Amino acid sequence: MKELWHQAGERLINISGIVAFFLLWEILPDIGVIDAQFIPPFSEVVKAIIKLLGNGELFIHVAASLQRTFLGLIFAIALAIPAGFLLGGVFPNLSRHVRPLLRLLGQINAFSLFPIFILFFGIGEIAKVSIIFWSTIWPVLFTTIAGVQQIDPLYIKSARSVGAGRLTIFTKVLLPGSAPVIFTGIRTGASHAFLMLIAAEMIGASAGLGWVVHNSSMNFVIPRLFAATIVIALLGMAINYFIYWLEENLLEWKR
């Protein structure tokens, strides 16, 4: 019984900051400490979310945003992981030469590349996916390289000593050994994807949570703006937890 009370107390402590934040969000605009015209009470935001749910509009925007996010993330993973294994395991000397260049490219914010994406891809879906792709590929690539290079060479020598071929070494040593670090990069990439979602959907979009944020700010519909922002945050958290769950179930040997 004491253990149950202890666990309940720990959970209350964990969520106390969130509860306090939303309580202050509700109370401060009501008592005039914060201008409700710019930051409405949290209850108004909840009403806006319910309205978006009620008319089905929210599902359309969520579907559009998730499609763009997943496409950008999947393309980034499909390119970054093989490139990371090549640079980290097959061509380590080449990796040392090109890493400064890759670091430089990784520091270029996708915001600054908007004109280039529009120039090459127009204002259609390809430009939006490309922005998300650019912002997510670098954390996946860098963590893949680091994950491969952190594997103890003794494991590879031991596998070779018992006659393991390259494919066996890859599937039994390199891939399992680097997988936890790669998943960390994928989670970081997913976080970056949602950070760039609003910016990506400002380019000629007619649907998406980022479009809702942009459209609401232009028309000064502040509760709707905050509603879309909260949904974006919740979706980002959900995807992060999903990737973590996937890692725990695929990498059972970690236990």
Query: Which tens digit of pLDDT belongs to each residue from 71-84?
Result: 999 999 999 999 99
How many domains does the structure of the chain reveal?
Answer: 2
pLDDT in tens, 23-55: 888 888 888 888 888 889 999 999 999 998 988
Range from 36-50, 84-98, 191-205 carrying the lowest mean pLDDT: 191-205
Q: How many Å apart are CA 190 and CA 171, to the nearest integer? A: 25
pLDDT reported for residue 79: 94
Q: Which residue stretches of 170-221 are H helix?
A: 175-200, 209-218
Shared domain check, 191 and 88: yes
pLDDT tier at 2, thresholds 50, 70, 90: low
Shared domain check, 101 and 16: no
| Among candidate residues 30, 136, 153, 117, the one with its CA nearest the CA of residue 76 | 136
Shared domain check, 179 and 169: yes
pLDDT reported for residue 10: 61
Shared domain check, 219 and 101: yes
- State mean pLDDT over 176-185: 88
Shared domain check, 155 and 195: yes
Boundaries of domain holding 75:
40-254
Shared domain check, 79 and 51: yes
Q: Return the axis-axis angle of helices 57-85 and 42-54, rounded to nearest 10°.
A: 90
Which tokens is 208 given? Answer: 């998406």
pLDDT tier at 159, thresholds 50, 70, 90: confident
- State mean pLDDT over 149-157: 82
Cβ–Cβ under 8 Å, residues 230 and 194: no
CATH number at residue 76: 1.10.3720.10
Shared domain check, 35 and 90: no
pLDDT reported for residue 218: 81
Which tokens is 19 given? Answer: 């509860």
Shared domain check, 61 and 167: yes
pLDDT reported for residue 7: 57
Identify the helix (H) or strand (E) that includes residue 158: helix 153-161
Q: How many Å apart are CA 229 and CA 197, to the nearest integer? A: 11
Q: Which comes out higher in pLDDT, residue 111 or 63? A: 63
Q: What is the DSSP letter of 34?
A: S
Q: How far is CA 3 from CA 10, 13, 15, 179, in A?
A: 10, 15, 19, 35
Shared domain check, 68 and 11: no
pLDDT of 141 higher than 90:
yes
pLDDT reported for residue 138: 93
pLDDT of 151 higher than 90:
no
Shared domain check, 82 and 5: no
| Average pLDDT taken over every residue of the chain | 84
pLDDT of 89 higher than 90:
no
Terminal-to-terminal C-alpha distance of the chain: 28
Shared domain check, 99 and 187: yes
| Among candidate residues 230, 130, 240, the one with its CA nearest the CA of residue 191 | 240
Q: Which residue stretches of the chain are H helix?
A: 2-31, 42-54, 57-85, 92-106, 114-121, 125-149, 153-161, 166-169, 175-200, 209-218, 222-250
Residue with tokens 């008319």, as numbered in its chain: 55
Shared domain check, 206 and 119: yes
Cβ–Cβ under 8 Å, residues 249 and 241: no
